[in-house]
């Protein structure tokens, strides 16, 4: 039996069902990392590095910041979360399971035939998933559509998007960034998982995207730079974003690829390689 958080069904009020303290978020984050390692090792396939670097950001959103109801995933007033770096699904699936969108036991079906938990998000399969992903660089454009819809429909929900820093090499990302600023989408917040690595190496060697902060500022965004593994900074950044009017906000979260597992940290080999069962045992021991 899971000891995940139990929640009551949401009514039409715009309140948050989850309100973990920072120590509780830290403990939850360790549990989520264990889920990530276990499900990828069981599948024998997946992306541990970027899932481990991003999980603190996603946990902060679902367990503190966002208004959402796992018992009513289609609730019209919910805040929306878009995982643009769709290969980071293990982190999102772990959070959704611990949020009660589906049973924690289902995490072991990752990437299996007929599973609801495929290697990239599928909004037609998985409860709580807002966007089907696969091709990188699409999430910001998709999220802008959602944020624009909220403005047109006079709704006050927020849209949150998680980008990988590798996606910031793509032209569509910057075209979308221009559009969000042009339409003054202050109901849109982007977090960038700035772990400085992508599939085949360091971003600085493949396509240097610095100075990243100044680029987003030049495109008309309010920018915040944080340590993406310190919950006090992550929470403060999302709260600050809510106060910004007339422009979207981007949070550049400095993270570590493979965070929490010593032999995975800053190791590009684990961008898309599952740990062996022996490596998984070592990782889980470190995460106790």
* Cα radius of gyration rounded to whole Å, the chain: 18
Q: Flag whether 116 is in a domain.
A: yes
Q: Flag whether 154 is in a domain.
A: yes
Residue closest to 29 by CA, chosen among 3, 2, 54, 10: 54
Give the pLDDT of residue 16.
Answer: 58
Domain that holds residue 134: 23-286
Is 145's pLDDT higher than 90? yes
Q: Flag whether 1 is in a domain.
A: no
Give the pLDDT of residue 9.
Answer: 42
Is 1's pLDDT higher than 80? no
The domain total for the chain is: 1
Average pLDDT over every residue of 234-245 = 98
Give the pLDDT of residue 135.
Answer: 85
**Average pLDDT of the chain?**
94
Average pLDDT over every residue of 165-181 = 97
pTM for the complete prediction? 0.94
Is 12's pLDDT higher than 90? no
Assign 158 a pLDDT band (cuts: 50, 70, 90).
very high
Of residues 67 and 12, more confidence is placed in 67
Is 270's pLDDT higher than 70? yes
Q: Flag whether 61 is in a domain.
A: yes
How does pLDDT run across 124-138, given as a tens digit for each residue?
Answer: 999 999 999 988 999
How does pLDDT run across 47-67, given as a tens digit for each residue?
Answer: 999 999 999 999 999 999 999
Q: What is the DSSP string of 53-68?
A: HHHHHHHHIIIII---
Residues 6+ apart with CB under 8 A from 221: 177, 180, 181, 190, 247, 248, 249, 250
Residue closest to 190 by CA, chosen among 211, 170, 160, 219: 160
d(CA 266, CA 135): 24
Average pLDDT over every residue of 185-207 = 96
* Contact criterion met (CB below 8 Å) for 285 and 81: no
Is 4's pLDDT higher than 80? no
Q: Flag whether 18 is in a domain.
A: no
Average pLDDT over every residue of 18-28 = 97
Look-up of token digits 């600050």: 240
Q: Flag whether 11 is in a domain.
A: no
Q: Flag whether 17 is in a domain.
A: no
Give the pLDDT of residue 3.
Answer: 40
Is 106's pLDDT higher than 50? yes
* Contact criterion met (CB below 8 Å) for 282 and 221: no
CATH of the domain at 76: 3.40.50.970
Q: Flag whether 16 is in a domain.
A: no
Is 224's pLDDT higher than 90? yes
d(CA 51, CA 221): 26
Give the pLDDT of residue 208.
Answer: 96
Strands 80-83 and 159-164: parallel
């Amino acid at each position: 039996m899971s000891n995940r958080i139990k929640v009551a069904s949401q009514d039409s009020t715009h309140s948050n069902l989850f309100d973990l303290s920072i120590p509780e978020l830290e403990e939850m984050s360790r549990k989520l990392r264990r889920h990530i390692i276990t499900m990828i090792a069981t599948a024998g396939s997946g992306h541990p590095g970027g899932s481990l670097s991003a999980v603190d950001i996603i946990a902060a959103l679902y367990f503190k910041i966002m208004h959402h109801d796992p018992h009513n995933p289609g609730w019209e007033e919910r805040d929306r979360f878009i995982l643009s770096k769709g290969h980071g699904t293990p982190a999102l699936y772990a959070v959704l399971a611990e949020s009660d969108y589906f049973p924690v036991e289902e995490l072991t079906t990752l990437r299996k035939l007929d599973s609801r938990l495929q290697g990239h998000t599928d909004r037609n399969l998985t409860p709580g998933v807002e966007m089907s992903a696969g091709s990188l660089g699409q999430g910001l454009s998709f999220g802008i559509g959602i944020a624009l819809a909220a403005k047109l429909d006079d709704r006050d929900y927020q849209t949150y998007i998680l980008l990988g820093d590798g996606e910031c090499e793509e032209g569509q990302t910057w075209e979308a960034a221009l559009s969000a600023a042009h339409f003054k989408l202050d109901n849109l917040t982007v977090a960038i998982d700035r772990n400085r690595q992508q599939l085949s190496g360091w971003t600085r060697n493949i396509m240097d995207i610095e100075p990243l902060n100044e680029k987003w500022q030049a495109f008309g965004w309010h920018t915040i730079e944080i340590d993406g593994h310190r919950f006090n900074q992550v929470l403060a950044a999302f709260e600050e974003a809510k106060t910004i009017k007339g422009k979207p906000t981007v949070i550049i979260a400095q993270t570590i690829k493979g965070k929490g597992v010593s032999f995975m940290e800053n190791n590009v080999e684990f961008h898309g390689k599952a740990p062996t069962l022996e490596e998984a045992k070592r990782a889980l021991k470190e995460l106790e």
